[in-house]
Amino acid sequence: MKHKILNFGHKILRIYWRIFKPLTLGVRAIVIDEKNRILLVKHTYENYWFLPGGGVKKGETFEQAIIRELREETGYEVNTIELFGVYNNTYEGKRDTVVVFICKDGKLGEFSGSPEIEKHEFFNTNDLPENTSKGMRRRIEEYCGSIKAKNFGIW
């Protein structure tokens, strides 16, 4: 029942966003584990896998927001945060600025659960779930390309 309510609420928000086009700030994390796998989350109100993240609260820095979001959505305790890129997303009707970080050297801590997260899991970059969001897939491909470029001394 909770999932249906969240799904309905998300649909109502999308209508609101299309009408009023609010400016929002968000963060996402490319979390890499010791096996070079990437952490993804599956929301209860969407049928897609996403990079963990969410909105930036008033008075919060981008770094503080990603640390909080990772803890809330997965229990992940991050040690190393590196800026990867800043993106503009207008897909849902919002003017959403999203800051993406690379997070390493952390660990999954205790996850107490979240009403918006169905599950979280690490995946190999060449074996992502079929229903990975197109935008998240693009960020992961960009990340993999930047790693190759660094390894070859191009970047």
Instruction: Please write the tens of the pLDDT for every residue from 20-36.
Output: 556 789 999 999 999 99
Distance CA(148)–CA(25), nearest Å, equals: 29
Asked whether residue 87 carries a pLDDT value surpassing 50, the answer given is: yes
What's 32's DSSP letter?
B
Place of tokens 């919060």: 60
- Residue 98 sits at φ, ψ, to 5 deg, of -120, 125
Record the tokens describing residue 29, joined without a space: 């994390």
Pick the CATH number of 2-149 from 3.10.20.30, 3.40.630.30, 3.40.50.720, 3.90.79.10: 3.90.79.10
Q: Calculate the alpha carbon distances from 101 to 6, 77, 104, 128, 152 in Å.
A: 27, 14, 10, 19, 22
Whole-number mean pLDDT of the chain?
84
> Model confidence over 103-146: pLDDT tens digits?
988 888 887 777 889 999 999 998 999 999 999 999 999 999 87
